[in-house]
Amino acid sequence: MPPLRRLRTSDGHANQIAARLKKSLSEKRVTNDQLCALVSSLTEGGWIPAAIDITHILSGRRVVTSLEIVALARALDIRACYLLIGDNADADIRFAAPADPESNAMPEG
């Protein structure tokens, strides 16, 4: 079976929610640790993110599942759609070739 190749954003990130999540945390004055606690409580322990998980999401290095996006959005009382595409439903989303499956390195960008 060939290695899994994941789609990346044009700037090499594994997710496109990082900037909007970072902005929402700042606006709501929520720390990474507080977000972890909110998500853990909201999901009744179904997802107990560590602060490093949030750090990796915010840096764009970590893939985020649809369920995690919904949990993050609910924890911050924002729309999951906002995290995905922002306020512009016609957002121009650009993709890059998947990263080399043999490497964990992100493309330069």
Q: What is the DSSP string of 4-54?
A: P---EETTS-S-S-HHHHHHHHHHHT--HHHHHHHHHHHTTTS----HHHH
Which domains are assigned to the chain?
8-89 (1.10.260.40)
User: What's the token pair of residue 80?
Assistant: 């999951």
| Overall average pLDDT of the 5-22 stretch | 90
User: Is pLDDT above 60 for 102?
Assistant: no
pLDDT at 2: 75
pLDDT at 9: 86
The pTM is what?
A: 0.80
Q: Which residue has the higher pLDDT, 40 or 12?
A: 40
pLDDT at 89: 64
pLDDT at 105: 52
Q: pLDDT (tens digit, 9 = 90+) per residue, 26-85? A: 999 999 999 999 999 999 999 999 999 999 999 999 999 999 999 999 999 999 999 999
